[in-house]
Structure 1
Amino acid sequence: MSDQDFPADLVITGGQVVTHETIRPAAIAVKDGRIVAVGEEDAMPAARQTFDATGLHILPGAIDVHVHFRDPGYTHKEDFESGTAAAAFGGVTTVFDMPNTIPTVADAASLAEKHAIASAKAHVDYGLYAVLGEESLANVPALVEGGIIGFKLYMGNTFGRIPSPSTGAMLEAFEVVAPTGKRVSLHAETNSIMERRQSRLVEAGRTDALAHLASRPAVVAVEAVARAAILAEWTGARIHILHISSAAELGPLRDAKARGVDITGETGAHYLMLAAEEYGRWGGIIRVNPPVREAANQGPLWDALMDGTIDMIATDHAPHTPEEKTRTDIWTVDCGFPGVETQIPLMLTEVAAGRMALTDLVRWSAYNPAKVWGLYPRKGAIQSGADADLAFIDLDRRWTIDDAALQSRSKVSPWHGREVQGLPVHTMVRGRFVMKDRTLMVDTRGHGRSVHTIQDVGTPSPRHTDETLAAVVAHRPGEAA
């Protein structure tokens, strides 16, 4: 039988297949990058190759909806090659990259440039965000046409200092995007509060690490989430709250969901497992926006994941160099640290500790992101027709995180020295191993594809369309509506 005559390219045997609902022993058959069968080994079609996954749990590859790969413009910190290599080592098979690069992804030309970079370098699949603000409003149709996963709107300042739109401009932005069905991801911190508090702290001579936390109390997120939810409810825009860091912002998030607002949210391992009490140990290394908060927030965030108030986990992978993270004046320290390689092992450690089930991790890391962004069932699932995006996990592997050994160019994080249990030992993207036996498959550079081509946003539900700014400006009194 010639290679082309085989009904499958690969059959994976011996593993425990994990979905958001079940764990069961099963074999997986793959053809042309997609799963064609899941079931008993003796029911699998003949294949050109087999792979023995005995002793491993096979999860849908994680979808990290929030990374900063710094390419173009800041490639000394990270680029698409090193960032997606780190993703592969972390069991992540799809990433959504943020637009605060140089140039900012705000028009068709900058988007096309970034697509070219990513398609040439990426080991894993990806989606690209475009910035949504006053300067890019007119470019929304061209950006959607050019291929984006969604829009990013900065309600508060962070790395790159993308201007924060006024509430009036934000309302107009939601009005413009709502009919497209694309989701708007929000850096939900109120800029005016933070700027005022930081100025006063600087005047008072506060340069210590905790001054950063003092400049961004939880109320900045509470106010921003509530305001964004009101505007989304009015316009019918779909919104996503990035990096939820506090128990306090869960209130407006729950209220909005109860009112039927199309609002989702994410948190990350650093908010679940790190606390303000560790600022003395880590100094500027722990600086991130929003800040790591007091330990009392951790329990409510875990509970919100369990009850569905928070829909998913994402890393906000934000790499910088050691020099940029270890300055003594906290206001000069770049915000963020790497996480795309370490988050799944950190969460697996919590599975081992009994905090949640392995199926919960699949729901938060793969199934829910795929559903929210219109990628399911091609992504986030292990079933016939899905892309063969798989993370092969050794649940028993104990190891210690070592910044120097990370694939990321950023070799500094508050995870250094932490003992974890659980490790992705192989990662497959569309039927091809991109990391195998903890070794990067260098021939997979450029294997990654943009997932906007398979995204299905469904039917948008814009509201109050006769009252949008565009509608009222175009209206002339006395003319028929």
Structure 2
Amino acid sequence: MCQNLEADLAIKNTKIVFSSTIVKAGLAVKNGKIIAITSDENLPKADKIIDAKENLTLPGIIDVHVHFREPGFTRKEDFFTGSMAAVFGGVTTVVDMPNTNPPTLNLESFRLKIEKAKGKTYVNLGFFGGVCGENLDKIQELAKAGVLGYKIFMDKVLGKPLDDNSLIEAFKLIAKTGLRVAVHAEDPKLVEQATLNLKKTGRKDFRVWVESRPSLAEAKAIEKLAFFSHKTGCKIHICHVSSKMGVEVLRKIKSQLSKIFLTSETCPHYLLLSFEEAEKVGLVSKIVPPIRFKEDKENLWYGLLDGTIDIIASDHSPHLPEDKAKDVWDAATGFVGVETSLPLMLTQVNLGRLTINHYVKISAENPAKAFGLYPKKGFIQVGSDADLTIVDLKKESTIKSENLHSKTRLTPFEGWKVKGLPTYTIVNGKIMMENGEITGKPEGNLILL
């Protein structure tokens, strides 16, 4: 049957990785879709054939937490450079956060972001709409315009913070759209009070940053958000879980409530760095929530492996060197991550910390399910989008900022040796990256639900 088909692209000599198994089979692609999964000898004729050289083919990696900084902060990153970094990191789809300038709070700002992104992205690009105390009446129009979900910061990042009554109202309105809301979960009152008290002491050491954002603030926020979610039927996603206390609260909640309402993510920097390591790196590693302690790191691994945490995301947040060259209170928070996430996690696969199947689950399948993209994305089957990441688990490299592709390249993983790299990044059936070289054009799709 496959011999009668004609394909644009075929992949042979590979093993396909699913969340539960690995299958030796070839793939064929036409018009951006997978049209056949079969033995190599039964693959249809194709315009181009990739010999994967026994490397693994994964569903294209989905990063649901990036800050590509456009519009407003393009001196740090933009859609072109951010998406280029993504394909070098084996990522095929990203979801961009709304804290730009202007923030993505209404139809006008959303349309501006779409216009800025057209013809500039190597990957598939979706968008979060922001929600604050000043735009509850815009939630429905953002859904109709095509946002993949919403983002709430519990402080004043996007504008007037949401008090509890406004938060409940926002959840009710979001529930009506059927979309999920991602939340930066830190109790703002606890953080504000801790920060005020610590600033009075005059301290400016690195540890004071961790103390100013206690684990309790994360745990308390998660607990409240889950309760409001349960009461309103609003699907929520907890961003960048960073603490043992946060994991424990999530585990308790998930044992009691339906999982459809609650998903969560953590990031490679919380899994791989502890406070002591971050302190050595200095303010490059300053981020919110902060990188905490060994006990937190170990418990995040437990949570990731037992299903308490559903997703791995990068929280790619580029900054210029001068943004970091300040004291601990004023230095910018965040660093690049969309290009280094996959190599860092594949290194952990090689070390036996997690299986390649579980990595596929948390980096492709679960993100797609959480944000309405599954099974078109996040899964390899006939009819799915041909977003594919071929990886060589034996290939080694060293992370060097000078070799990264973001506009600004500060990383706390400078000098880290990694084992496991992407060799091909295929977006909508087009080869965007091949063996460390850009081979495609910025023709990624804008994902508008």
What TM-score, normalized by structure 2, do the two folds share? 0.96
Could you say which residue in structure 2 is the equivalent of 1:195? 192
**SS where residue 204 of structure 2 aligns?**
coil
Please report how far the alpha carbon of residue 258 of structure 1 lies from its aligned counterpart in structure 2 after TM superposition. Answer: 2.4
Pairing 1:420–2:418 present: yes
Distance, in Å, in 1 between the alignment partners of 2:404 and 2:78 is 14
Aligned length: 444
Could you say which residue in structure 2 is the equivalent of 1:387? 385
Please report how far the alpha carbon of residue 58 of structure 1 lies from its aligned counterpart in structure 2 after TM superposition. Answer: 1.0
Structure 1 segment 233-272 matched on structure 2, within 5 A: 233-261=230-258, 262-272=261-271
Deviations 1:283-308 (A, max 9, x none): 21111000000011122111111111
Match among 174, 192, 212 for residue 177 of structure 1: 174
The question of whether the paired residues in 2 share the 8 Å contact of 1:283 and 1:326 is answered with no
Distance, in Å, in 2 between the alignment partners of 1:424 and 1:162 is 39
The question of whether the paired residues in 2 share the 8 Å contact of 1:175 and 1:235 is answered with yes
Structure 1 segment 70-109 matched on structure 2, within 5 A: 70-109=69-108
The question of whether the paired residues in 2 share the 8 Å contact of 1:154 and 1:162 is answered with no
Distance, in Å, in 2 between the alignment partners of 1:432 and 1:318 is 27
Deviations 1:191-221 (A, max 9, x none): 1111121122222111222111110010000
Distance, in Å, in 1 between the alignment partners of 2:30 and 2:194 is 57
Distance, in Å, in 2 between the alignment partners of 1:183 and 1:224 is 17
Could you say which residue in structure 1 is the equivalent of 2:119? 120
Letter of the aligned partner of 1:168 in structure 2? N
- List alignment gaps of at least 5 residues for structure 2: none
Pairing 1:294–2:293 present: yes
Letter of the aligned partner of 2:47 in structure 1? R
Distance, in Å, in 2 between the alignment partners of 1:314 and 1:163 is 27
Distance, in Å, in 2 between the alignment partners of 1:178 and 1:306 is 29
**In structure 2, do the counterparts of structure 1 residues 331 and 319 end up closer, same or farther at CA, with 3 Å as the change threshold?**
same
Deviates more, 1:46-55 or 1:412-421: 46-55
Could you say which residue in structure 2 is the equivalent of 1:131? 130
Could you say which residue in structure 2 is the equivalent of 1:11? 10
Match among 210, 214, 226 for residue 217 of structure 1: 214
The question of whether the paired residues in 2 share the 8 Å contact of 1:313 and 1:364 is answered with yes
Please report how far the alpha carbon of residue 259 of structure 1 lies from its aligned counterpart in structure 2 after TM superposition. Answer: 2.6
Please report how far the alpha carbon of residue 375 of structure 1 lies from its aligned counterpart in structure 2 after TM superposition. Answer: 1.0
Distance, in Å, in 1 between the alignment partners of 2:152 and 2:291 is 21
Could you say which residue in structure 2 is the equivalent of 1:25? 24
Letter of the aligned partner of 2:330 in structure 1? T
Could you say which residue in structure 1 is the equivalent of 2:58? 59
Could you say which residue in structure 2 is the equivalent of 1:345? 343
Please report how far the alpha carbon of residue 156 of structure 1 lies from its aligned counterpart in structure 2 after TM superposition. Answer: 3.5
- List alignment gaps of at least 5 residues for structure 1: 454-481
**SS where residue 419 of structure 2 aligns?**
strand
Could you say which residue in structure 2 is the equivalent of 1:166? 163
Distance, in Å, in 1 between the alignment partners of 2:412 and 2:70 is 23
Distance, in Å, in 1 between the alignment partners of 2:248 and 2:352 is 27
Pairing 1:451–2:440 present: no
Distance, in Å, in 2 between the alignment partners of 1:10 and 1:389 is 12
Q: Where has structure 1 moved over 4 Å in runs of 4 or more?
A: none
Pairing 1:140–2:139 present: yes
Please report how far the alpha carbon of residue 413 of structure 1 lies from its aligned counterpart in structure 2 after TM superposition. Answer: 1.1
Please report how far the alpha carbon of residue 24 of structure 1 lies from its aligned counterpart in structure 2 after TM superposition. Answer: 2.3
Please say which structure displays the higher CA radius of gyration. 1
Could you say which residue in structure 2 is the equivalent of 1:332? 330
Could you say which residue in structure 1 is the equivalent of 2:434? 436
Please report how far the alpha carbon of residue 48 of structure 1 lies from its aligned counterpart in structure 2 after TM superposition. Answer: 2.4
Could you say which residue in structure 2 is the equivalent of 1:360? 358
Q: Percent identity?
A: 41
Could you say which residue in structure 1 is the equivalent of 2:309? 310
Could you say which residue in structure 2 is the equivalent of 1:377? 375
Pairing 1:186–2:183 present: yes
Pairing 1:409–2:403 present: no
**SS where residue 244 of structure 2 aligns?**
coil
Please report how far the alpha carbon of residue 422 of structure 1 lies from its aligned counterpart in structure 2 after TM superposition. Answer: 0.7
Please report how far the alpha carbon of residue 6 of structure 1 lies from its aligned counterpart in structure 2 after TM superposition. Answer: 5.8
Distance, in Å, in 2 between the alignment partners of 1:9 and 1:161 is 44
Distance, in Å, in 1 between the alignment partners of 2:125 and 2:265 is 18
Could you say which residue in structure 2 is the equivalent of 1:461? none
Distance, in Å, in 2 between the alignment partners of 1:119 and 1:206 is 46
Distance, in Å, in 2 between the alignment partners of 1:435 and 1:259 is 44
Letter of the aligned partner of 2:430 in structure 1? R
Please report how far the alpha carbon of residue 366 of structure 1 lies from its aligned counterpart in structure 2 after TM superposition. Answer: 0.2
Distance, in Å, in 1 between the alignment partners of 2:355 and 2:279 is 33
Letter of the aligned partner of 2:351 in structure 1? A
Letter of the aligned partner of 1:450 in structure 2? L
**In structure 2, do the counterparts of structure 1 residues 49 and 440 end up closer, same or farther at CA, with 3 Å as the change threshold?**
closer
Could you say which residue in structure 2 is the equivalent of 1:398? 396
Could you say which residue in structure 2 is the equivalent of 1:474? none
Could you say which residue in structure 2 is the equivalent of 1:470? none
Distance, in Å, in 2 between the alignment partners of 1:252 and 1:51 is 46
The question of whether the paired residues in 2 share the 8 Å contact of 1:154 and 1:163 is answered with no
What TM-score, normalized by structure 1, do the two folds share? 0.90
Could you say which residue in structure 2 is the equivalent of 1:36? 35
Distance, in Å, in 2 between the alignment partners of 1:307 and 1:156 is 31
The question of whether the paired residues in 1 share the 8 Å contact of 2:145 and 2:448 is answered with no
Distance, in Å, in 2 between the alignment partners of 1:293 and 1:156 is 21
Please report how far the alpha carbon of residue 451 of structure 1 lies from its aligned counterpart in structure 2 after TM superposition. Answer: 2.4
Distance, in Å, in 1 between the alignment partners of 2:160 and 2:84 is 31
The question of whether the paired residues in 1 share the 8 Å contact of 2:276 and 2:293 is answered with yes
Could you say which residue in structure 1 is the equivalent of 2:320? 321
Distance, in Å, in 2 between the alignment partners of 1:175 and 1:410 is 39
Could you say which residue in structure 1 is the equivalent of 2:68? 69
Deviations 1:263-287 (A, max 9, x none): 1100010000001112431221111
Letter of the aligned partner of 1:389 in structure 2? D
